[in-house]
């Protein structure tokens, strides 16, 4: 009898616990993220989304997601998946909170996922290789091999176009991304591909022979995707986040950081640069590596600076009297103990030491901005860059961010501003173009070096790297 009574009590207590749990308010998705301290994000490895750069993880989508995580006060768990259909399937299955993968907003996708406010506008474009017959319209694509990313918005676009052009055909590749397809066009493995305009602008630095034939879409919007459902708490927080970064200019600064140096890039000059990488650089690469290792620099950055200065010509002389591989002034050369500026070894070694000093002077800044500030100082002088930081602050910008300061450097040419500064007038536009050129030369050289020696990277290449997240 006693056992039966105890059993009844146990059952009653269990039922009461179940009832209390059922009555307790359930956490919504946003509260679950707060409780776990983790935001699970699907992304893909691409220059317009997420990749490991010389300073660690980076990319437009990566930095946006990190900003959102800071907004929430949580950490990010990245799930890297390059297949677009898998990304959408994993999101719908509830295995991630957000897909931040350079996704174009399309009607078919809107039926299965919910999109946040857009963060960027692109155009879908047909790409071909210069020197081959340029396709003028959709009909012309039937004469060659067209290959695109499987399950992409490009596939949706072509399927719609096929209704009026039944001869149109293409192959869908689920194994490689858009960057690789653009490489295949450049190497004449395939005739055409379709890519987003933002990625084309980045990849043309590495493949100056690829060209845009025509657009196949009107401007399209890129946005994050989230699963559909009655619980829209996390979605609404993402909406508030985008409203905030659009209003305070953070989104504009982030996009400028990744795409701004491409605005005036000389794609035609890339061919000459690539030729010099093949023919001139091997004569001096060892010197760049040795000098970089001594000064904890990336040798490819040092080589990019030297190319901007002299096109790797140790006998170069400018009208202002600077000379040598690193174009050092007499005063700087004397301070560095250099007896012959046109000696490549002395010039590269001295230039590396000088750059290291400039980087150290900006110890109050974070990378990669710290490097860009140092490069601007190498061109226009440390004092003028500090003046530009002061002007930036006076105008309500952030003096620690290169994208803000580079907008204000040109003001050093205006009497209204330079009269208020410590170091006075300077040709402020020149360091802006200088840094932008070096960034592109550096990116191309990193791409070239990684392609040529993916498993034999010099130690100095990793000098600025951060642990992979």
Task: Give Cα separations from 107 to 84, 156, 157 (angstroms).
Answer: 16, 10, 11
Are 129 and 107 in a shared domain? no
Residue 445 lies in a domain: yes
pLDDT of 9 reads 58
- Within 10 angstroms of residue 131's Cβ, the number of other Cβ atoms is 9
CA angle 145, 147, 150 (to 5 degrees): 155
User: Rounded CA gap, 57 and 69, in Å?
Assistant: 15
Are 129 and 244 in a shared domain? no
**What is the DSSP code (8-state) at residue 236?**
H
Domain count along the chain:
3
Residue 5 lies in a domain: no
Predicted TM-score (pTM) of this structure: 0.71
pLDDT of 461 reads 29
pLDDT of 56 reads 78
Residue 116 lies in a domain: yes
Show the tokens assigned to 199. Answer: 């990625």
Are 180 and 205 in a shared domain? yes
Closest C-alpha to 141, from 122, 157, 118, 120: 157
Are 412 and 317 in a shared domain? yes
pLDDT digits (tens, 9 = 90+) for 237-268: 999 999 999 999 999 989 988 887 766 667 66
Show the tokens assigned to 228. Answer: 């559909």
pLDDT of 265 reads 67
pLDDT of 467 reads 26
What parts of the chain have a pLDDT lower than 70?
1-25, 54, 262-265, 267-268, 452-469
Are 90 and 184 in a shared domain? no
Q: Contact 47/53 with Cβ under 8 angstroms?
A: no
pLDDT of 8 reads 56
Task: Give Cα separations from 47 to 101, 194, 199, 208, 375 (angstroms).
Answer: 11, 16, 7, 17, 23
Are 276 and 168 in a shared domain? no
Are 313 and 417 in a shared domain? yes
Are 303 and 427 in a shared domain? yes
Residue 14 lies in a domain: no
Are 236 and 195 in a shared domain? no
Domain range enclosing 108: 29-120+222-262
Q: Contact 118/222 with Cβ under 8 angstroms?
A: yes
CATH number of the domain residue 179 falls in: 3.40.190.10
Name 125's bridge partners: 195, 215
Are 186 and 289 in a shared domain? no
Helix, strand counts (H, E) of the chain: 20, 13
Which are the catalytic amino acids? Answer: 309
Cα of first residue to Cα of last residue in the chain, in angstroms, is: 61
User: Rounded CA gap, 306 and 347, in Å?
Assistant: 10
Are 338 and 376 in a shared domain? yes
Are 254 and 343 in a shared domain? no
Residue 15 lies in a domain: no
pLDDT of 406 reads 93
Name the percent of the chain lying above pLDDT 90.
Answer: 71
């Amino acid at each position: 009898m006693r056992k039966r009574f105890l059993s009844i009590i146990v059952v009653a207590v269990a039922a009461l616990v179940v009832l209390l749990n059922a009555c307790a308010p359930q956490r919504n998705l946003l509260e679950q993220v707060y409780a776990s301290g983790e935001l699970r994000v699907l992304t893909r490895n691409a220059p317009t989304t997420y990749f490991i750069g010389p300073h660690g993880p980076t990319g437009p989508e990566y930095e946006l997601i990190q900003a959102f995580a800071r907004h929430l006060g949580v950490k990010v768990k990245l799930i890297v998946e390059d297949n677009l259909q898998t990304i959408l399937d994993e999101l719908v299955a509830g295995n991630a909170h957000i897909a931040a993968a350079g996704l174009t907003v399309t009607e078919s996708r809107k039926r299965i996922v919910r999109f946040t406010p857009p963060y960027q506008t692109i155009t879908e474009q047909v790409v071909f290789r210069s020197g081959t017959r340029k396709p003028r319209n959709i009909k012309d694509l039937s004469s060659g091999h067209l290959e695109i990313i499987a399950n992409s918005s490009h596939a949706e676009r072509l399927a719609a176009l096929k209704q009026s052009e039944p001869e149109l055909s293409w192959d869908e590749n689920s194994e490689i991304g858009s960057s690789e397809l653009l490489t295949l066009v450049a190497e004449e493995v395939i005739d055409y591909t379709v890519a987003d305009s933002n990625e084309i602008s980045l990849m043309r630095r590495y493949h100056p022979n690829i060209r845009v034939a025509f657009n196949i879409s009107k401007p399209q919007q890129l946005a994050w995707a989230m699963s559909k459902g009655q619980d829209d708490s996390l979605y609404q927080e993402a909406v508030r986040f985008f409203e905030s970064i659009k209003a305070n200019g953070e989104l504009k600064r982030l996009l400028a950081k990744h795409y701004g140096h491409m605005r005036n890039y000389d794609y035609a000059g890339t061919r000459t640069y690539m030729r010099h990488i093949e023919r001139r650089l091997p004569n001096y690469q060892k010197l760049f590596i040795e000098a970089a290792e001594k000064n904890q620099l990336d040798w490819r950055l040092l080589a990019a600076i030297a190319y901007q200065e002299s096109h790797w010509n140790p006998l170069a002389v400018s009208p202002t009297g600077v000379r040598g591989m690193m174009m050092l002034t007499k005063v700087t050369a004397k301070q560095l103990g250099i007896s012959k500026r046109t000696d490549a070894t002395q010039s590269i070694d001295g230039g590396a030491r000088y750059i290291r000093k400039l980087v150290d002077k900006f110890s109050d800044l974070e990378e990669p901005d710290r490097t860009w500030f140092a490069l601007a100082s190498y061109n226009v002088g440390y004092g003028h860059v500090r003046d530009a930081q002061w002007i930036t602050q006076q105008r309500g910008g952030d003096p620690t961010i290169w994208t803000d300061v580079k907008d204000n450097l040109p003001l050093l040419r205006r009497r209204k501003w330079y009269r208020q500064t410590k170091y006075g007038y300077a040709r402020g536009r020149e360091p802006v173009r200088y840094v932008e050129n070096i960034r592109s030369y550096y990116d191309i050289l990193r791409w070239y070096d990684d392609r040529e020696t993916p498993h034999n990277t010099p130690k100095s290449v990793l000098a600025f790297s951060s642990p992979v997240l």
